[in-house]
Amino acid sequence: MPNYLKMPKKSQVLALLELGWSYRRIEAETGVRRETVSRYDAARQSNAAKTFPGSALSPPPESPDLPLGEDSKAAKTFAGSEAKAAKTFAGSTPRPRFAAAIYRTAITEKLDAGLSLQRIWQDLVEEYGYGASYESVKRFVRTIAPKRRAVGVFHCAPGAEAQVDFFRGAPTLDTATGEWRRPWVFRMTLGHSRHGYEEAVWDQKLETFLRLHERAFRDLGGVPQVVRHDNLKAAVVRACFYDPDSHDVYVAFAAHWGFTPLPTQPRTPQENGKQERSGGYVKDNALKGRRFDNLDAQNAFLRHWNRTIARLRIHGTTRRQVWTHFVEVEQPALQPLAAEAFPCFTSSERTVHADGHVEVGGAFYPVPLALLGQEVRVRWDAHLVRVFTGDTLVAVHARVREGLYAPRAGEAEASTRQQAFVDRLVFQCERVGPALKQWADAALAARGVRAIRLIQGVLSLTRKHPRERILAAITEAHARQHFRYQTIRQLVERTPARPRPTLRTADPAIRPMTQYTLEDFLS
């Protein structure tokens, strides 16, 4: 049994319908269900005239009288029974199909700016007092045709560019853990011929990434001029839209093999489009629906698939067989291979400790004491540790076991922390003056480790007395072999300070002012 509204609620619904409100908006405002509102909306429409079986339609008023048949009777008409036009009000417009349609321009501008639909709805509510729901905005946006934009095409000359990327491979049994995992598949695609190299690995570490490049170069028989890659950590330290920072190891690797690394812009996969498409081709054509018992089996299958299917296909863009196009056009344009493999190393920033060492892998390596507290760049591999300030090499050491100190240049054994501190004190003495360094060396030879605090005390005198007075006193102490702090302090205090030069106003060489004439100044 249908529900009937009371007169106040019915009047409210009819008034809102006359204003052109949607059923959803009326339901939100009054609490009356949309189905009930629709019945009252239909009640506002004019009812069709009732007809009975055998009755003919009445001719329109403006049509001429038609002859009536014998059995037909004219329909009875009454005054005022003609059709009446729908009521309209001044300023009223047809009700739009979507509540958000009147804000089409604003919505289109916000869509072009890349705003989400949720953000657009929030802006409409805040800026225009939009009263409809978020779903109403979604329904309207579906009807707006997307704006078509022209896109550029990346053309590559033979040997000019290769694109690299990783993607997930087929499920493979990890023999080390006994679990099924999806390895990473590395793919290098040449931009001109679309010939490529693919290999599955378990990780994306820096050394793995570099060795994959080397094997790809050797398989292709040459090196492209540019290698375009996305912003993976093995290649890019800091991603930036305009000026990204490449990994210094990858930069050194590129210089060794003679190519230029080129990161793509963040969140712009179309710059690496050839690789994105070729990676999808490998996944769909070679690996989809397959499983492998180990990583070697997947790599063996990829090599066989490349030889028998991938390189023999006719590419949809070039309209040539991939392998033939590569051999005839692109391979001769590739740069020659490097003579030897790249000596891979690890690079990182280090702060020089107060003892004059930097830490690498749990071991400690000395650097020049002038770099105390400064940031240095350290590069190391399995055999050597190199320390740089900027591009200048300042120290080279052989790798030592974790927990040990590497010896300084010219020393047979590694210096201890105490020896490093002594070296620092002697270095400070040398900065004050050569005489103080000679006295410090003699004090260490005479008193051993007890001379450390003595040297510290003498250096503290430089904060109270002039440098010339201390050097004069320490020269006398060295000559007399004095190695006691009190004695040296007394010598410093007794040593007369160098008199300051004063200006003399009277001297035989100075003429009195009365003897100067104007001609003397003009001459």
Q: What is the DSSP letter of 292?
A: B
- Region 476-490: mean pLDDT is 91
Confidence of residue 35 (pLDDT cuts 50, 70, 90): confident
Residue with tokens 């081709």: 281
In a shared domain, residues 408 and 429? no
Among 338, 305, 317, 280, which residue's Cα sits nearest to residue 191?
317
- Region 361-379: mean pLDDT is 92
Among 311, 343, 350, which residue's Cα sits nearest to residue 327?
311
Structure confidence at residue 523 (pLDDT): 59
Structure confidence at residue 380 (pLDDT): 93
Query: Of 370, 392, 413, which one is at a domain's C-terminal end?
Result: 413
Query: Of 306, 333, 360, which one is at a domain's C-terminal end?
Result: 333
Q: Are 455 and 425 in contact (CB under 8 A)?
A: yes
Instruction: Note whether residue 147 is domain-resident.
Output: no
277-312: per-residue pLDDT in tens?
A: 999 999 999 999 999 999 999 999 999 999 999 999
In a shared domain, residues 370 and 455? no
Q: Is residue 46 pLDDT above 60, yes or no?
A: no
In a shared domain, residues 277 and 171? yes
Give the number of other Cβ atoms within 10 Å of residue 246's Cβ.
16
Structure confidence at residue 50 (pLDDT): 56
- Region 344-351: mean pLDDT is 92
Distance linking the first and last C-alpha atoms of the chain: 129
In a shared domain, residues 174 and 321? yes
Structure confidence at residue 84 (pLDDT): 53
Helices (runs of H) and strands (runs of E) counted in the chain = 17, 15
Question: Which of 134-138, 143-147, 156-160 has the weakest average pLDDT?
Answer: 143-147
- Region 392-404: mean pLDDT is 92
In a shared domain, residues 170 and 317? yes
- Region 31-43: mean pLDDT is 81
Structure confidence at residue 513 (pLDDT): 74
Lookup: tokens for 265: 């812009």
Q: What is the DSSP letter of 329?
A: I
Instruction: Note whether residue 454 is domain-resident.
Output: yes
232-257: per-residue pLDDT in tens?
A: 988 998 888 788 888 889 999 999 99
* CA dist., res. 1 & res. 150, Å (int): 59
59-93: per-residue pLDDT in tens?
A: 444 444 444 444 445 555 555 445 455 455 555 55
Helix axis angle, 7-18 to 23-30, nearest 10°: 140
Instruction: Note whether residue 28 is domain-resident.
Output: no
Cα 220–chain centre separation: 30
Instruction: Note whether residue 132 is domain-resident.
Output: no
Instruction: Note whether residue 56 is domain-resident.
Output: no
H/E element, 207: helix 206-220
Phi, psi of 30 (to 5 degrees): -105, -20
Question: Which of 62-66, 110-114, 190-194, 456-460 has the weakest average pLDDT?
Answer: 62-66
Confidence of residue 379 (pLDDT cuts 50, 70, 90): very high
In a shared domain, residues 490 and 379? no
Query: Of 413, 441, 460, which one is at a domain's C-terminal end?
Result: 413
Q: Is residue 340 pLDDT above 80, yes or no?
A: yes
Q: What CATH number should be reported for the domain holding residue 278?
A: 3.30.420.10
485: containing domain:
419-494
Among 232, 151, 156, 237, which residue's Cα sits nearest to residue 189?
156
- Contact partners, residue 376, CB within 8 Å, separation at least 6: 349, 350, 351, 352, 358, 367, 387, 388, 389, 394
Lookup: tokens for 509: 């060489």
- Region 81-107: mean pLDDT is 67
Mean per-residue pLDDT of the chain: 85
Structure confidence at residue 63 (pLDDT): 41
Instruction: Note whether residue 281 is domain-resident.
Output: yes
Question: Which of 50-54, 142-146, 149-153, 252-256 has the weakest average pLDDT?
Answer: 50-54
In a shared domain, residues 366 and 287? no
Q: How many domains does the chain have?
A: 3
Confidence of residue 144 (pLDDT cuts 50, 70, 90): confident
Structure confidence at residue 60 (pLDDT): 46
DSSP code string of 8-68: HHHHHHHHHHHTT--HHHHHHHH---HHHHHHHHHHTSPPPPP--TTPPPPPPTTSPPPPP
In a shared domain, residues 277 and 326? yes
* CA dist., res. 125 & res. 213, Å (int): 54
* CA dist., res. 517 & res. 522, Å (int): 9
Q: Is residue 313 pLDDT above 90, yes or no?
A: yes
* CA dist., res. 352 & res. 356, Å (int): 6
Structure confidence at residue 41 (pLDDT): 82
Question: Which of 69-73, 403-407, 513-517 has the weakest average pLDDT?
Answer: 69-73
Cα 476–chain centre separation: 64
In a shared domain, residues 207 and 325? yes
Confidence of residue 269 (pLDDT cuts 50, 70, 90): confident
Give the number of other Cβ atoms within 10 Å of residue 206's Cβ.
20
- Contact partners, residue 108, CB within 8 Å, separation at least 6: 144
In a shared domain, residues 307 and 165? yes
Q: Are 378 and 347 in contact (CB under 8 A)?
A: yes
* CA dist., res. 174 & res. 41, Å (int): 68
Comparison of pLDDT for 196 and 50, the residue scoring more: 196
Confidence of residue 20 (pLDDT cuts 50, 70, 90): confident
Cα 181–chain centre separation: 28
129-140: per-residue pLDDT in tens?
A: 898 999 999 999
Lookup: tokens for 197: 């190299």
Q: Is residue 514 pLDDT above 80, yes or no?
A: no
- Region 383-405: mean pLDDT is 92
* CA dist., res. 326 & res. 221, Å (int): 11
Phi, psi of 180 (to 5 degrees): -85, 125
In a shared domain, residues 352 and 297? no
Instruction: Note whether residue 70 is domain-resident.
Output: no
Instruction: Note whether residue 288 is domain-resident.
Output: yes
In a shared domain, residues 406 and 455? no
- Region 262-271: mean pLDDT is 87
* CA dist., res. 514 & res. 196, Å (int): 99
H/E element, 120: helix 117-128
